[in-house]
Amino acid sequence: MITILTRSSPLFNLPINFTVNLCSEVKGRITLEGKPFANQKLERSLTYEEEEVDYVYTDENGCFSFSPKSIKSKLPGSILHEARVRIVIVVKYNDEYHVLWYGTQQSRKTDTEFAKRFLNLNAELTDEEITHRFDSPQSSLGHNIKSICRWT
């Protein structure tokens, strides 16, 4: 006997809600030609089931922070579900968006390597956006993210 799963199947309507960590705490500093990029708006877009967007402003020293963000979801209870969270953090300058972070988290929990970098999201607006590759114990494939930030 073959059972075909549909969206109305009990497996897709589980009563259990799982916590999905969309993004851990983010802290950083933005400069423009070495000087603080003060009072500027940053946008963080987190996409899992739907897009969640929030904003913060840099202070007089160019520093900013975003609070951790998580949601409750039934999706991780499905055997067919792959947890992926798209994380984008940008700042606009001279009508151009500068990417501080563009990457995908492959789990419902924040990757430790993401969390480390999120606490040091320091950027110089004149730096070129590049692809960073880093390994992680939580991902056998590692990660590729795009950013103007630099980490040592």
Instruction: Give the span between the Cα atoms of 30 and 114, in whole angstroms.
Output: 19
Task: Tell me the pLDDT band of 2, cut-offs 50, 70 and 90.
Answer: low
Q: Does the residue 94 lie in any domain?
A: yes
| pLDDT at residue number 76 | 62
Residue 51 within a domain: yes
> What is the pLDDT averaged over residues 111-127?
93
User: Would you say residue 152 lies in a domain?
Assistant: no
Q: List, in sequence order, the alpha helices (H) in the chain.
A: 112-118
Residue 111 in tokens: 């990757």
Q: What percent of the chain has pLDDT over 90?
A: 56
Going by pLDDT thresholds of 50, 70 and 90, the confidence category of residue 131 is very high
CA distance 147 to 122: 10
Total-model pTM: 0.82
CATH number at residue 119: 2.60.40.10
Q: Is residue 12 situated within a structural domain? A: no
Q: Is residue 138 part of a domain?
A: yes
11 falls within a domain: no
**Residues 89-100: tens digit of each pLDDT:** 999 999 999 999
> What are the counts of helices (DSSP H) followed by strands (DSSP E) for the chain?
1, 12
Measured CA to CA, the distance from residue 6 to residue 124 in angstroms comes to 49
List C-alpha distances in Å: 90 to 96, 134, 141: 10, 21, 25
The count of structural domains within the chain is: 1
142 is in which domain, residue-wise? 17-147
Residue 60 inside a domain? The answer is yes
